[in-house]
């Protein structure tokens, strides 16, 4: 048994990441061609939206008391079996098969490219597979974009809670600032709106200005971040946590009291912005910008915290007084960390608002902040790959468990309690994924050149 | 002009007078000691000099420039490095990172440079890393560069802390009870090390020590304080026979 597992592990380990991605892309192709027919054939009634998890859970009878629930379990199991078959046949086999076949060519291909280009190829492949996979069932695309937004939220909060060791629980406040600022701008500039009237700029501008407006939203949020940064000079720990909660409430209440932008009723019209954008060029703009947003967030935070300047943030976590006495300008560093963190929360807010098409102040309460916190602690403090993983897992769990209705929340929070009891350091435990699987193994970096007495090909 | 000049330094914690009318002229290249019983205010003086506390009264000047009101990182950048009575390394970071971060004040690149990995960033980071490794090399700690500090034995942590203080490029080094928790053998090594870094890095050194044998061994001049007040000053030999010092350490005769 152990031998078999070892074999499987070795087999899977030999396939580089890009080959897996291409395999998944092929699998989505298979699904487009044969998914519907195969789903009908094995009794799933078509393409399952979410690997069959949601559909299986929705077989559970949540309204009939305990008896009804227990009686509905067989019908769930009856669904799970064909769903598993579907997942294996449609996703599993093609991914592994194509991955295995392409393993060698992919290794050769990536070895001819410079590393940054290899990274780009991975990203484009991942993007394409998400696009194709999501394009088949609209709901999937929505979930993918939620994952993206949540990755940005979790990793930006990780900068404060994980790397700097402060406990910020008002991240949704900054998200709200970004969401409102960018939504107001796009709706004002590009759509016919009750409040703002006719669009100010031509539709073509929307394509160019959309990312800039996201950045403007981020900058506004970054400035709001100073509301926490300055108090952080004087207070820390629990007291700063209270400050962050207050800032969250202040922002929410402020928005609630501005009638012009809808007050507590909220603000809408962002779907119109998207229509304007797709009317010019019909591509999934939001998916593209979410993807790029996630990439930029991860690169910026990673590069920042691995520079000596950025490591000042970690020194503050480890011993703030020693940091200040050992020449780290702690105030400057805190302002930087809070600004960067809330900037990205603002960008996430802008994306979120346009994905949802509608925002209202009560979306951005401390509950939303708590979700971001959960993702940070689930993934592990001070681990970016942990935040990426946990944002994926958390978002998917929240969506897939929807049929469980109220019990969903119980289950998810129960998971969190268990996590805190048995693995407080989170999934990654302060390490990065690359500490376990090397970049060389994944095929993202070329293996170190072997020295064999002759010089490798000249550059 | 003396390197460090302290005039009428007085500090209160609420109603408690921790330091009273402390004066010192420290010439470049000197190695002096500050001793006194527990709670005499020795560490408080270091905290005042390094800016961790702002003095209630008095003046502290480094090369003629007043340090009062400056933030600790600015004072460190001006050339005062220190270690702590209880080790205060950044425990969950590697030895190398501990040394790197202590060069924070020498960073000239901006955040944008660090995010975009500009040439300027790469050059400076390379320089910082090189210097850190050189420093570790000098102390024969280079093989531990990637080790997490918390995993090192106590004696090596003490050494790393000294290296970290040196990484800030000090002209004046303040050592707060460097021999705390060391056995006689380790103390001898430490004394040699202190004298050696003084020559090697062209430093002025000011040591707080609790144990007489440390301070008598290497200091050229000693100041003794008790209850925040200076009670004696002089060479080790003079101090050893000073009745006020003996009284402060051993209590009144006839008890």
Considering the domain boundaries, does residue A3 fall inside one? Answer: no
pLDDT at A451 over 70: no
For the stretch B77-115, pLDDT in tens is 999 999 999 999 999 999 999 999 999 999 999 999 999
Asked if A310's CB is within 8 angstroms of B114's CB, the reply is yes
Task: Give residue A407's domain range.
Answer: 137-440
- Residue A226 forms part of a structural domain: yes
Query: Which pLDDT value is given to residue A455?
Result: 41
Position A287 in a domain:
yes
Q: Which of A28-42, A401-415, A430-444 reaches the highest mean pLDDT?
A: A28-42
Which residues make Cβ contacts (< 8 Å) with residue B74, sequence separation at least 6?
Answer: B51
- How do residues A262-295 score in pLDDT, each as one tens digit? 899 999 989 999 999 999 998 899 999 999 999 9
Task: Indicate whether A349 belongs to any domain.
Answer: yes
**Of the partner residues B52, B73, B114, the one whose CB lies closest to the CB of residue A303:** B114
Pairing of strands B4-13, B57-62: antiparallel
pTM assigned to the model: 0.91
Which site among A308, A332, A338, A339 would you substitute to test the B interface, given the most B Cβ atoms closer than 10 Å to its Cβ? A308
B71–A312 CB contact, under 8 Å: no
- For residue A254, the SS3 value is helix
Q: Which residue of A has its CA nearest to B72?
A: A325
Q: Is the pLDDT of residue A459 over 70?
A: no
Q: How many CB pairs under 8 A join A and B?
A: 95
pLDDT bin (cut points 50, 70, 90) of residue A239 is very high
CATH 3.40.50.300 in chain B, residue ranges: 1-79+169-255
Q: What is the per-residue pLDDT for A448?
A: 61
Query: Is residue A184, in this structure, part of any structural domain at all?
Result: yes
* Same-domain status, A163 and A83: no
Whether the per-residue pLDDT at A323 is higher than 80: the answer is yes
A383 and A304, same domain (yes or no): yes
Please give the helix or strand (H or E) that residue B19 lies within, else none. strand B16-26
Average pLDDT over residues A188-213: 87
The per-residue pLDDT for B133 is 96
Nearest to A325 among B50, B100, B117 (CB): B50
Shortest Cα distance from B12 to chain A (angstroms)?
Answer: 20
Residue B46 confidence (pLDDT) above 50 = yes
Domain boundary among A98, A113, A128: A113
pLDDT at position A233 over 80: yes
The confidence score (pLDDT) of residue B252 equals: 65
Residue A355 covered by a domain: yes
**Are A193 and A94 part of one and the same domain?**
no
In chain A, which residues have their Cβ closer than 8 Å to the Cβ of B84?
Answer: 322
Domain containing A418 — which CATH number? Answer: 1.10.3470
CB < 8 Å to A300, chain B = 115
Q: Which of residues 73-112 of A touch B (CB under 8 A)?
A: none
Q: Is A260 a residue whose pLDDT tops 90? A: no
Q: Are residues A70 and A187 in the same domain?
A: no
Note whether B88 contacts A331, CB cutoff 8 Å.
no
* Contact assignment for B93 to A322 by CB distance below 8 Å: no
| pLDDT for the residue numbered B253 | 58
Domain match, A59 and A152 both: no
Higher-pLDDT residue of A384 and A196 is: A384
For chain A, what is the domain count? 2
Interchain CB distance below 8 Å, A326 and B109: no
Q: How far apart are CA A413 and CA A406, in angstroms?
A: 12
In this predicted structure, the answer to whether residue B211 has a pLDDT above a threshold of 90 is no
The most confident of A44-53, A118-127, A323-332, by mean pLDDT: A323-332
Same domain, A388 and A254: yes
Nearest by CB to residue B111, choosing from A314, A315, A336, is A336
Q: In this structure, are A101 and A220 located in the same domain?
A: no
Highest mean pLDDT among A32-46, A267-281, A430-444: A267-281
Residue B164, pLDDT > 80, answer yes
Instruction: For chain A, give percent helix, strand, coil, nearest 5.
Output: 75, 0, 20
Tell me if chain B has a CB within 8 Å of the CB of A115. no
Q: How far is CA B53 from CA A269, B20, B75, B190, B207, in A?
A: 55, 15, 12, 29, 19
Q: Which residues contact A37 (CB under 8 A, 6 or more apart)?
A: none
Report the share of chain A in percent with pLDDT over 70: 97
The C-alpha atoms of residue A129 and residue A444 are separated, in whole angstroms, by: 18
Contact A308, B125 (CB under 8 A): yes
Nearest 10 degrees: Cα torsion A314, A319, A325, A331: 60
Asked if residue A256 and residue A349 are part of one domain, the reply reads yes
Averaged pLDDT for residues A209-237:
93
Distance from CA of B173 to the nearest CA of A (A): 12
Distance CA A352, CA A375 (A): 17
pLDDT of A125 strictly over 50:
yes
**Which residue of A314, A321, A329 is in closest CB contact with B93?**
A314
Q: Is residue A457 part of a domain?
A: no
Q: Which CATH fold topology does B1-79+169-255 show?
A: Rossmann fold (3.40.50)
The predicted pLDDT at position A402 comes to: 82
Chain A, residues 292-311, CB within 8 A of chain B, namely: 299-300, 303-304, 307-311
């Amino acid at each position: 048994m152990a031998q078999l597992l070892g074999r499987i592990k070795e087999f899977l380990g030999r396939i580089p990441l890009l080959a897996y991605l291409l395999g998944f892309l092929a699998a989505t192709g298979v699904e487009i061609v044969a998914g519907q027919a195969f789903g009908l054939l094995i009794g799933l009634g078509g393409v399952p939206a979410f690997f069959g998890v949601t559909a299986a859970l929705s077989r559970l009878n949540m309204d009939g008391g305990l008896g009804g629930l227990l009686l509905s379990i067989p019908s769930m199991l009856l669904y799970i079996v064909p769903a598993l078959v579907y997942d294996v046949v449609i996703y599993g086999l093609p991914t592994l098969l194509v991955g295995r076949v392409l393993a060698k060519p992919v290794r050769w291909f990536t070895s001819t490219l410079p590393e940054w280009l290899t990274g780009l190829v991975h990203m484009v492949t991942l993007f394409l597979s998400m696009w194709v996979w999501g394009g088949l069932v609209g709901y999937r695309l929505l979930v993918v974009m939620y994952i993206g937004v949540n990755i940005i939220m979790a990793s930006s909060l990780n900068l404060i809670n994980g790397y700097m060791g402060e406990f910020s629980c008002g991240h949704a406040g900054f998200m709200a600032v970004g969401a409102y600022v960018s939504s107001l701008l796009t709706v004002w500039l590009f759509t016919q709106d009750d409040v703002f009237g006719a669009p100010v700029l031509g539709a073509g501008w929307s394509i160019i200005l959309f990312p800039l407006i996201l950045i403007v939203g981020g900058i506004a949020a970054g400035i709001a971040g100073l509301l926490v940064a300055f108090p952080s000079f004087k207070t820390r720990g629990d007291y700063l946590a209270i400050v962050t909660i207050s800032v969250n409430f202040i922002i929410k209440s402020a928005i609630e009291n501005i009638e012009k932008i809808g007050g507590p009723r909220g603000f809408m019209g962002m779907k119109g912005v998207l229509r304007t954008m797709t009317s010019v060029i019909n591509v999934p703009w939001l998916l593209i910008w979410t993807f790029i947003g996630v990439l930029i967030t991860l690169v910026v935070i990673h590069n920042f915290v691995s520079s000596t300047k950025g490591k000042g943030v970690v020194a503050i976590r480890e011993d703030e007084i020693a940091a200040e006495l050992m020449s780290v300008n702690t105030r400057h560093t805190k302002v930087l960390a809070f600004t960067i963190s809330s900037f990205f929360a603002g960008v996430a807010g802008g994306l979120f608002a346009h994905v949802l098409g509608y925002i209202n102040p009560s979306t951005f309460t401390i509950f939303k902040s708590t979700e971001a916190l959960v993702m940070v602690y689930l993934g592990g403090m001070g681990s970016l790959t942990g935040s990426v993983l946990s944002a994926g897992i958390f978002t998917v769990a929240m969506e897939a468990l929807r049929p469980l209705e109220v019990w969903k929340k119980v289950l998810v929070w129960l998971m969190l309690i268990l996590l805190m009891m048995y693995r407080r350091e989170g999934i990654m435990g302060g390490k990065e994924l690359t500490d376990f699987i090397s970049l060389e193994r994944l095929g993202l970096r070329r293996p170190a050149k072997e020295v064999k007495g002759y010089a490798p090909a000249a550059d | 002009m003396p390197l460090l000049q302290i005039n009428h330094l007085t500090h209160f914690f609420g109603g408690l007078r921790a330091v009273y009318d402390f004066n010192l002229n420290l010439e470049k290249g000197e190695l002096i000691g500050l001793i006194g019983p527990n709670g005499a205010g020795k560490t408080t003086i270091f905290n005042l000099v390094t800016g961790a506390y702002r003095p209630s009264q008095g003046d502290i000047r480094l090369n003629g420039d007043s340090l009062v009101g400056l933030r600790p990182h600015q004072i460190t950048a001006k050339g005062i490095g220190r270690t702590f009575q209880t080790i205060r390394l950044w425990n969950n970071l590697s030895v190398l990172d501990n040394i790197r971060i202590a060069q924070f004040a020498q960073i000239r690149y901006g955040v944008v440079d660090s995010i975009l990995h500009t040439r300027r960033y790469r050059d400076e980071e390379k320089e910082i890393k090189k210097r850190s490794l050189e420093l570790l090399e000098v102390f024969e700690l280079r093989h531990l560069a990637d080790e997490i500090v918390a995993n090192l034995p106590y004696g090596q942590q003490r050494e790393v802390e000294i290296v970290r203080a040196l990484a800030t490029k000090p002209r004046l080094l303040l050592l707060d009870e460097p021999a705390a928790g060391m056995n006689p053998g380790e103390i001898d090594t430490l004394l040699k090390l202190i004298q050696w870094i003084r020559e090697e890095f062209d430093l002025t050194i000011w040591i707080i020590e609790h144990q007489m044998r440390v301070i008598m061994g290497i200091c050229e001049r000693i100041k003794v304080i008790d209850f925040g007040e200076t009670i004696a000053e002089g060479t080790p030999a003079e101090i050893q026979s000073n009745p006020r010092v003996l009284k402060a350490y051993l209590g009144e005769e006839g008890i």
